[in-house]
Structure 1
Amino acid sequence: MITTMTQTKTFAVTGGNVLSGTVKLSGAKNAALPMIAAACLGEEPTILDNVPVELRDVKILIQVLKEAGAEIQVDGTTVSCARGAFPSGSINPIASEIRYSLLLLGLASALKSELLLPMPGGCKIGDRKYDLHLLGLSKLGSAVEETDEGIHIASSGNIGAEIEFYLPTTSGTENIMIAAAIADGETTILNANTRPEIMELAKLLNLMGADVECSNRVVQIKGAKSIKGGIRYSVMPGWDEAVTYIIASTMTGGEICIPDFSLDFIKEDARLLKEIGIDVFEWGGSVYASGKKAKRSFDLFTAPYPGINSDMQPIFAALAFVVDGKSTITDLRFTERFKYIDELKKFGGSVHSFGNTAIVEGGRPLKGAEVKATDLRGGASCILTALVSEGTTVISNVSQIERGYENIVSKLQQLGANIESQQS
């Protein structure tokens, strides 16, 4: 059982090594989490393969669902999920540590249930509203109320509706897809986020017995009376891992191979990497990248898929340290997602932020420092910067990093990085 505890682990990174070799991706966290929740709609067990079960967010979601009555079994990287008696009893307060606990609301809504969910958590990256979740669930007919204790939902059955988001939300789209899968009538989500993880969720739901269609920014769900489940599906590889390791290697002038991966998942990221001067190509079912050429400054604007996801802007900020010239990074989704910049400043490079923009002037010498992982991607950005800094960097609060990167230390070590996990 997972409990909240004080994290004393740190990462020590000594820069200067060239990272080259092959790295095998884990399953994508942000695909696995909604799939696990959706699989709990099924009357019969649905088996998910390639689940990143070592990630804390995944462990917490599984624990919370099991304690709420779902039938879940874990065997290696395979997870079997069924409805069971969900929900029964109160929701474990540890659910407040992860944002994807919000998907329990969609489950309860679909299964004509009632529950009180502790306020959701996740990375502290500015204003992460969940009002669109509550709006959509209310339009489907659920009674939703925020209280001092959390979010209360009660459902006697959903009725299809047209739901328009004022901005594309990934987990909000997924929540409504889960809730509307068992409903009377058809639900249409307009201005939905239809990134690859959501397309994969739709495929899973359809195999389980739902009727979901996804097109560019529109999702249509024809409600079913029940969802049978009883199928087997593999979680997509972690595209965010892929971008991180490509940049980690090529920042150091190395070359990397990522087997069983496709650039289709990161088309816009790959386009920008090529523009910067990094060779990226796909061959024989693997992706290859080389950072041996000179690298150019760039301007990055985050955008909903197929644009570059907001998650990746801290990773590109680290890359900007090793390019020639001044790069700008503008986040059009989470305008306050620049807390990590204060940590990057400690390396001695030229970097500052204002509003929703960061400016990095590359080519300056960097030195190891004591830094803190302010959030998942900000922490990864510190690791990448440390790889090209003189001396040793110590990174604290690494539980944030381990929320989204399975076995990151061993994977970087396989590529040749001088990185160690330490208990302090």
Structure 2
Amino acid sequence: MMVTTLTQSKTFVVKGGNTLSGTVRLSGAKNAALPMIAAACLGEEPTVLDNVPVNLRDVKILIQILSEAGAYIQVDGNTVSCARGSFPNTAVNPIASEIRYSLLLLGLASAFGSELLLPMPGGCKIGDRKYDLHLMGLSKLGSTVEETEEGILVTSKGNVGAQIEFYLPTTSGTENIMIAAAIAEGETTILNANTRPEIMEMAKLMNLMGANVECSNRVVTIKGANKIKGGVRYSVMPGWDEAVTYIIASAMTGGEVCIPDFSLDFIKEDVRHLREIGVEVFEWGGAVYASGKKTKKSFDLFTAPYPGINSDMQPIFAALAFVVDGKSTITDLRFTERFKYVDELKKFGGNIYSFGNTAIVEGGIPLLGTDVNATDLRGGAACVLAGLVAQGTTVVGNVSQIERGYENIIEKLQQLGADIESHHS
């Protein structure tokens, strides 16, 4: 599963005006699959993960860099088998710098008492995304961590449990310390941990594999095991972020959508907001239904760590704000600079502007098709959503950003009735 460097030649072409209705099936959640793949590499025997979104670029890159670094990984359809193999036995491929979750290789190397040089991590350019908490946590466990011109060098002779307090609840930082502490000597407690559903699912997987992890609200406790056996099977949770995106896409166009095999448990706060806005959302018979036929009203949204609305979703809600009556505000309390997409959405002719950590959208102004670029994953998705309701044709560039997080997005939107195609220039 070799991944080439990013190309900018592919575009999405959207013709607005269609109503999106029908059934859409979710892929596995990217941000659940990535840490579970890394955690599965703690095991001596292969652990089988089902419902992995293997077509996503971030997933392909993580599998590639882990395999090249010696981990045992086999891919069969949407099933991925993972074990330690000979990890780590080599320097890490520079392509690792394109994804943030490459940081989890530091936790694995730290757990195994090894040395690893990791190129500087990447991901979405959404403002200040420090990894200082990762490095602080690994240092507290006894690993030596140095930042060099070549990247981040971790050297470990085996970890010892410690109490680690984060000044900010970090998702990937919590996951990294969970991995690093899994076979440490003694007990590790992470205070102010992020304990969102993806982390709860990762803890369940690790426990099945032979680890000892307890998660409660904002606290994670890991009792070190002598070894992690692995050899289990687990299914990656469905993509809640995908669900919210397709619910909002349908609602913006006045349509109705059914999402089978999904539960509202993962998106309670998003659903509360959607209902207040005027989108009907309910669960019945193991499926989620949503309707956007009613008049929708303006809203004030604040992002927050789980169970609040994830920072990821605020560009998607900004697109929704274009089609509601009145002025909406969106405030990001986590990534204060996550508003690069605003300049792209302005090109549709709507009234949106941002200052500090807030965006303000004046809804109800007709949008016009235009040429835009995906500044990041969700900002790109927001441009696609705006194009669905804009008059005329919208061309979205830099779509590799969108494909980092949405598996088969073109086909899924087409199934719902959207006029959208992928073009190669």
CA distance in 1, matches of 2:7, 2:175: 32
Q: Name the structure 2 match of 1:2.
A: 3
Amino acid at match of 1:250: A
Aligned to 1:188: 189
Query: Is 2:43 the partner of 1:42?
Result: yes
* Shift of residue 6, structure 1, vs aligned partner: 2.6
Aligned-residue offset at 1:5: 3.9
1:66 paired residue number: 67
Instruction: Report the CA distance between 1:275 and its aligned residue.
Output: 0.3
Determine the C-alpha separation between the residues in 1 that align with 2:47 and 2:263.
Answer: 26
The CA distance in 1 between the partners of 2:306 and 2:286, in whole Å, is: 23
| Number of the residue aligned with 1:362 | 363
In the TM superposition, what are the counterparts of 1:305-344 in structure 2 within 5 Å? 305-344=306-345
Please tell me the residue identity of whatever aligns with 2:219: V
1:95 matched to which residue of 2? 96
Return the letter of the residue paired with 2:146: E
Maintained 8 Å contact 2:12/2:397: yes
Question: What amino acid is aligned across from residue 57 of structure 1 in structure 2?
Answer: D
For residues 157 and 134 of structure 1, the distance between their equivalents in structure 2, rounded to whole angstroms, comes to 16
Counterparts of 1:38-187 in structure 2, within 5 Å, are 38-187=39-188
Task: Report the residue type matching 2:318 in the other structure.
Answer: A
Q: Sequence identity of aligned pairs in percent?
A: 84
Q: Secondary structure at the match of 1:233?
A: strand
Alignment of 1:201-216 (within 5 A): 201-216=202-217
Q: SS at the partner of 2:313? A: helix
* TM-score, normalised relative to structure 1: 1.00
Superposition deviation, residue 7 in structure 1: 2.4
After TM superposition, give the deviation of residue 73 of structure 1 in Å.
0.2
Per the normalisation by structure 2, the TM-score is 0.99
Aligned residue-pair number? 424
Secondary structure of the residue that 2:73 maps to in structure 1? strand
Q: CA deviation at 1:4?
A: 1.1
C-alpha distance in 2 between matches for 1:89 and 1:252: 51
Where do 5+ consecutive residues of structure 2 fail to align?
Answer: none
Q: How far apart, CA to CA, are the structure 2 residues paired with 1:375 and 1:2?
A: 19
Amino acid aligned to 1:262? S
Partner of 1:24: 25
2: CA distance between counterparts of 1:186 and 1:349?
54
Q: SS where residue 413 of structure 1 aligns?
A: helix
Distance 1:109 1:182 in 2: 10
Q: Distance in 2 between matches of 1:409 and 1:131?
A: 37
Q: Output the CA distance in 2 between the equivalents of 1:251 and 1:105.
A: 42
**Secondary structure class of the residue paired with 1:347:** coil
Deviations 1:57-115 (A, max 9, x none): 00000000000000000000000000000001110000000000000000001111101
Name the residue aligned to 1:392. 393
CA contact (8 A) 2:65 2:96 kept: yes
Q: Which residue of 2 aligns with 1:251?
A: 252
Contact 2:6 2:400 in 1 (8 A): no
Provide, for residues 29-77 of structure 1, a one-character-per-residue CA deviation record: whole Å limited to 9, x for no partner: 0000000000000000000000000000000000000000000000000
Q: Give distance in 1, aligned partners of 2:313 and 2:366.
A: 23
- Which residue number corresponds to residue 349 of structure 1? 350
Gaps of 5+ in 1: none
| SS class of match (1:115) | strand
SS at match of 2:176: helix
Give, as a single letter, the amino acid of the residue that structure 2 aligns with 1:229.
G
Contact 2:351 2:361 in 1 (8 A): yes
User: 2:228 & 2:329 partners in 1: Cα distance?
Assistant: 47
Structure 1: distance between partners of 2:157 and 2:226: 13
In the aligned structure 2, how far is the partner of 1:7 from the partner of 1:40?
Answer: 33
Q: Which residue of 2 aligns with 1:266?
A: 267
Deviation at 1:2, TM superposition (A): 1.1
| Secondary structure, aligned partner of 2:7 | coil
- CA-based RMSD of the aligned residues comes to 0.4
- C-alpha separation between the residues in 1 aligned to 2:241 and 2:19? 21
Distance in 2 between the 1:19 and 1:113 partners?
51
Give the match's secondary structure for 2:347: helix
Q: Deviations over 1:362-403 (max 9, x none)?
A: 000100000000000000000000000000000000000000
What is the identity, as a one-letter code, of the residue corresponding to 1:279?
A: E
Listed one character per residue, the Cα deviations across residues 123-168 of structure 1 (whole Å, up to 9, x for unaligned) are 0000000000000000000000000100000110000000000000
Counterpart AA for 1:6? T
Residues 290-325 of structure 1, C-alpha deviations (whole Å, 9 max, x = no match): 000000100000000000000000000000000000
Distance 2:149 2:39 in 1: 28
Tell me what 1:12 maps to. Answer: 13
Q: Secondary structure at the match of 1:159?
A: coil
C-alpha distance in 2 between matches for 1:423 and 1:3: 16
Residue 166 of structure 1 aligns to a residue whose secondary structure is coil
Greater than 3 Å deviation, 4+ residue runs:
none
